[in-house]
Structure 1
Amino acid sequence: MNDKLKIGLVQYSPVWENKSLSKEKINNLVHETNVLDLIIFPEMTLTGFTMKSKAFSEELNEETHLFFSTIAKRKKCAVMYGVIEKGKRKIFNTLVHLNNQGKIISTYRKVHPFSYSKEDIYFGKGKEIVITKVKGIKIGLSICYDLRFPELYRLYAKEKVDMIIDIANWPDTRIEHWRTLLKARAIENQCYAIGVNRVGDDPKLHYNGFSSVFDPMGKEIV
């Protein structure tokens, strides 16, 4: 990968199950950003990792999309965010990629719901990998618990992606797993690995971030 990509990792504390207040926080944070090619937000960006899937689900052209589409157009850069997507038959934990005009380019549905929190009961499972591009750079998408399943990333490696991105709500009690797994995915697939995690608290867990970028040699560069 020879081209340079300026990426902003938004490591913030969403207001639990409150989209409006979370949007206020994000607007304040994004206002301070410099010129970027891509801004990446954590999993379930506006709600936190809630299992109230029916209460907070929405179609991909509704509130959350309109908010991040406005950011993409205002900052003139691509955006990736997490949303609780209302599908035709099921609800999904989804990563959305918008271009710098606020249009949806790709959507990835989490393939491995976190069964220990019963996510697999309240959310459907995605069925396929998704490769997207920013400035011609090939990117494989994933969400949180997916990181523990190396076979998913081998599929990306076979497609010769330049980087993989994982957005997450990964708690501090297992943060060394997060860092180790990100590094391993970079080394074993010989690509950059970017992890964007949240900070703060929800009713059950504490999050301490450690959003990171690892190069193909396993060196942490951010």
Structure 2
Amino acid sequence: MKIGLLQYNPVWEDKDANKQKILSFVEKTEEKIELLVLPEMSLTGFTMNAEQFAEGIGGDTFRFFSALAQEKSFDVFVGIIERGKQKPFNTLLHINSKGKLIKLYRKVHPFSYSKENQFYNAGSKPVTTKIKKNLIGLSICYDLRFPELYRKYAKKRVHLIVDIANWPDTRIEHWRTLLKARAIENQCYVAGVNRVGDDPKLHYNGCTSFYDPMGNLLAEVIEEEKLLIVELNKNYLNEVREKFPFLDDIKMI
């Protein structure tokens, strides 16, 4: 399965401008992809103005990416600010190539260090989804620091873990190390999709990357906007798990 990981510099809190930026990347790529993955809070940046930008699951952002998915015949993973009963959720939507909402994942671990928990509700459960028999575990940014979530995905034998993020450069080595660890311990591919550029407080150097089930870094992009195209090889994944059947020994204690 070919996957496009879009690392870009979103215009702060400007959904319309960011839609145009995303279109420009998609339109100029000549390689066919089956899945497009965007960073956390894809059209706003990591804003705490949650109520201002919150929308329903079927809102404007969904409609835009639904149309794009149908036009380009690929699935999309996009981050939105989802309206909630008390507070909004930081949410990842899976939209399929026919423009239908397949699954949504709500960030289980709001980033309390930046007070995200004061403006966003926490999700309550892990979520897996499928694209052409490829089983995928979903996560968002700060979730990456909590391996318990990903062990639940390992128990289900996911082929790919995706983490969409706004992860600043000051802690980027944590990002790299944790992505690699999640790949090794769960014997699956891991795609981390980060933003690049600046928001009002922080700088982001990206390091959007793709690791194989042995923890090898297959692709990475740093300090630039780029649609990084990678490929998941399920045959190789199965070979790794057969040669090193470590997942059979998991004990959830």
Which TM bucket (shorter chain)? over 0.9
Alignment of 1:30-45 (within 5 A): 30-33=26-29, 34-45=31-42
Contact in 1 for aligned 2:87/2:121 (Cα 8 Å): yes
SS of the aligned residue for 1:31 comes to: helix
Structure 1 residue ranges (4+ consecutive) displaced by more than 2 angstroms after TM superposition: 87-90
Instruction: Report 1:1-222 matches (<5 A).
Output: 5-33=1-29, 34-222=31-219
Q: What CA deviation, in whole Å up to 9, does each residue of 1:7-35 have, x standing for no partner? A: 00000011001111111111111111221
AA aligned to 1:14 is P
How far residue 55 of structure 1 moved from its aligned partner, in angstroms, is: 0.3
> Normalising by structure 2, what TM-score?
0.85
Q: Which SS does the other structure have where 1:208 is aligned?
A: strand
Following superposition, the deviation at residue 163 of structure 1 comes to 1.0
Q: Which has the higher contact order (CA 8 A, sep 6+)?
A: 2
Partner of 2:245: none
Q: Whole-Å Cα distance in 2 between the matches of residues 160 and 124 of structure 1?
A: 28
Give SS of 1:210's match.
strand
Shift of 1:214: 0.6
Displacement of 1:89 = 3.5
Looking at structure 1, the residues matched to 188 and 52 of structure 2 have their Cα atoms a distance apart, in angstroms, of 38
- What is the percentage of aligned positions where both structures have the same residue? 62
> CA–CA distance in 2 between the matches of 1:89 and 1:171?
28
Alignment coverage as a number of residue pairs: 218
Offset of residue 70 of structure 1: 1.3
The structure having more radius of gyration, on CA atoms, is 2
For structure 2, the residue ranges without an aligned partner over 5 or more in a row are 220-253
Q: Which amino acid aligns with 2:72?
A: K
C-alpha separation in 1, matches of 2:38 and 2:189:
18
Shift, 1:74, TM fit: 1.0
Unaligned 5+ runs, structure 1 = none
Q: Which amino acid aligns with 2:16?
A: S
Mapped to 2, the partners of 1:97 and 1:206 lie a distance apart of 28
Task: State the distance in 2 between where 1:71 and 1:13 align.
Answer: 20
Distance 2:215 2:191 in 1: 11
Q: How far off its partner does 1:87 sit?
A: 2.3
CA distance in 2, matches of 1:21, 1:138: 33
